[in-house]
Every structure is written in C-alpha cells, then in structure tokens.
Amino acid sequence: MSAAITLDEHTLDWRAVAQVAGGATLHLGAAAQQRLQAARHIVERVVADGVRAYGINTGLGALCEEILEPASLSALSLNTLKSHACGVGASLDDELVRAIMCAQVANYSHGKSGISPALVDGLVALLNHQLIPVVPARGSVGYLTHMAHIGLPLAGLWQLRVDGVEQDARSALATAGLQALPLGAKDGLSLVNGTPCMTGLLCIALARAERLQKWADIVAAMSFEALRGQTVAFDPDALSLKPHAGAQAVGRNLRALLDGSALLQAAQGTRLQDALSLRAIPQVHGASRDQSAHVAAQVNIELASATDNPLVLGTPDNYRVLSQANPHGQSLAFAADLLTIAQAELGGIAERRIDRLVNPLVSGLPAFLVENSGVNSGLMIVQYVAASLVAENKVLSQPMVVDNYVTSALQEDHLSLATPAALKALQVIENSERILALEYLTAGQALSFHPPAALAAGTRAALQLLREQVAVYSEDRILAPDIAAVTRIIQDNASLRRIETQLGIVL
C-alpha cells in the first residue's frame, strides 16, 4: 500500500514532494481547502468589481494593458494553456512530472493564487489515479511551458500517460471516471505560473543526489581498501579540526565501512600519505554534501513560498491584487547550478580513483585488474568511459544562471533559466551515477585480488551485493551489460538500504 501525504496546516518539504513523485498519494486537508476557497472568492470579486488586475481581466506579458470583458476570461485561460504548450524534445519521465504537479498543488494551497479549487482537486486526482500528463522536457526559460502541458489535460486536451501508454486526455479521464474541467478567470495564468516546475525537478535532483552521495562513500571505501590506503587521513581528531558537517559525516561513514579490515591494518605505515583522491575523500565528498544541504534549504523555502503573479491578499471585501516577481526563479537557478557542480565533483574524484585502480604503477595490482594482461585488456577502457562522462559533466557544470535573454517584447527582460538548470543537474547526477558504477565495478574487481576474510565487513557487504549481479572478471568479456547492471544497483534505493541495515547506520 502506497504512502499518503496530506497537505494541510504545514507546507511540504522536498522529501514529501519526492515521496509523491515516487507514487505516494496526495490529499488536501480542510485548512488547505479553506485557503483555496477564500482566494478564489477574491478573484471572483475582482471580476465583479471590474478592477483592472493583471492576468485576471487583462492580457498577459506584453499584452497586460489590454482589458478584457468578463465573458472572454474563460477563453483567455484556455488560450493561455494552448499558446504556452510549446515544449520540445523527449517527454519527462513520470517521476519528474509528478514532482512538478505536487509542487504546483503546494503552491496553490497557500491560498494566494486564486485558482479555482476544482482545478487543484483535478491535479490531485491525476496524481492519485496515476494519470501523467505528457510533458516535453525542453523549451522553458524559467517556467510556463512544462506547466501548460500539465494544465491542458485538466480541460480534456493534450495527452495523458497511463501505465506508460500515451492516450488522448479526454478518453483517459473518462476511463478513470474523471471529467474535463471548465476554466475561469485567472485559471490559465495560475496553471502556467510560478516556480513549481523548477522546484519539483530540484526535489527529485536532491533525492538522487542524496543517494549518490551515500554510494560515493561506499564505493570510495572499497577503492581505498583495495589500494591499501592510510587510515590516519580519516582520524576523527584530525577531521574535528575542520568541522564542516559534510566532512564529519563522510569521515564517520568511512570509518564504519572500513572498520575491522585486516587488509588495511597490515598496510598501515607502508607509505606516509596517499594521493588526494584517497586522502581527501571526507573533504571532497563532504563539501558536496554541504552544498546539497544548502540547496535543500533553498528548495524548502521555495515550497513555503507563494510564487504566482499576481497574488491575491486579504478578503473579498478588503482585497489587494499584487503584481510582483515571485515567479522569478533566481534562487533556484543558483541552487541548481550549485547542485550540478557538487555532484559533478563526486564523479570527477571517482574517475581519479578508477585510474589508480587500473594503473599497476600505483595500484600494486595486476595491470588493468586482470591476469594474463596483454591478451586481455581487462578494465582498461572502463577508465576511458569514466573520463568521457567527467568531461561531459565539466561542460554541463558551466553555470546557467549568469546567462540571460529577453522575452515578451521587453516585458520579461531578465530570466532565471532555472528549469533548464535543474534539468542539467539531473543529467549530471545521472552521469555521476554511471561513473560511480564504473568505480564500483573496478573496485570490486580490485578487491578480488585480496583475501575475502581480510576485508572490512562494510566493504564485504557492498562486494557481495555487486557479485549477485556481476561475476569476477577473469578474462575479457563484453562489459556493457555489467556496467548497466551495476548502474541499476547505484540507482536502487533498496540496495542502499540493505547496506545501511548491515552497517547499522544511516550513511
């Protein structure tokens, strides 16, 4: 039975959004429903009073000075969805779309947008019926495009994905016992507006980054043991003198993973210090964790924010309609770029450890980790693949927030580019997952040259998990299936929980 998340008195955090994205149901409590109703009454009063208010009874963007008749406001809302639904490229996967939808509901639930409550209920119904709007991944400079594709199915237009199959939205709604909904004043604008797109995407990026960071410690510990590192680098007294929270956590993880290693005990004192890719694991991995923590704080603030434009405040008898720039995603654009760099660095240092593992000049192990090298190339090309992905991450890590374009006839002349920045972060995380999979494969092969009984319990547990999917490499074979299998382990939350359970700690 799937978990259930209730949105009521308290705002959601990124973990709750990630839960809904992963399949948990979402419910609106009475307090959230009351806030939605109160805000909608203000919009209705604005229309009745004929007070000019952006997006409620005017055109949008550069057309904001055009005042519209009440009879045309429903058409304006529907046309807003149609005109903004111009995304391009492959569609986002279900988890990412669900995250955006959940962030939308969270934004509206603050009761400052004035969207029709029935449309918010409709979004919740799509989530809970596993009806996923088809959303092209590209074409957004900040928001608008992705959310237009999500809004259209509420009106019975566009497409929904059901069990992986794309269907006409109206027929998919009917099959699920749902109906297309009418749109009123401001509904179209609210459905495309605000920061839920970039926020939802970053919630998933954070969840994947957190998993990646834990695997980075596990796999690095395997490499460290295989290369017989000097454990003084992880001494708690030394690390306590640089008390960054991330470094402290990684140092604790490494000590737990390597505890009881006879191989390491025998290797102590054989060299004064190791290369930085081994010695600086707490400092490098820890710094990535610290940046992720900062990003998480920014995302949680955004989830607690009302990011529509205009916002409606007060009561139907004493209201204010405020045109402002809360939908601007500058904070999240910075956050996405920072998260991208932090996760790219995990891949970068992992590639350096792979290189040391396969290089007999520094590893003390057979060349490219295979016996009878020469006729066998071993894991030589694994390092090439890692280097390629690191190079790609380097390009993707160039910050997007500092770029800028002008849209909407000079009306929108500073853009955050936070949504493409978030998508870029997700791509870098996927690349780094593959780099860590390559290190996992390589470190596991390196440990096969050491007696199993000499290994630490933590690294032995990780090696056992690896061996359930990939056999020891005794002679050349096609490696692509092995790499894919190990990547699936890295991307599997259950595999990570298994190792944490065996260690008795949360990494």
The residues assigned a catalytic role are 54
Run of H or E residues at 248: helix 245-258
End-to-end CA distance of the chain: 27
Q: Is 143 helix (H, G, I), strand (E, B) or coil?
A: coil
**Tokens coding 185:** 């004043």
How large is the greatest C-alpha to C-alpha distance in the chain, in angstroms? 86
How many angstroms separate the Cα of 335 from the Cα of each of 144, 207, 321, 418, 484? 20, 14, 29, 9, 30
Torsion of CA 75, 79, 82, 84, to 10 degrees: -150
Q: Which of 140, 123, 145 is nearest to 132 (CA)?
A: 123
The residue assigned the tokens 């009123």 is 184
- Cβ partners under 8 Å of residue 189, min gap 6: 55, 56, 60, 77, 80, 308, 309
Q: State phi, psi for 149 to the nearest 5 degrees.
A: -65, -30
Contact 133, 331 (CB under 8 A): no
The residue assigned the tokens 């440990």 is 447
Torsion of CA 171, 177, 180, 186, to 10 degrees: -140
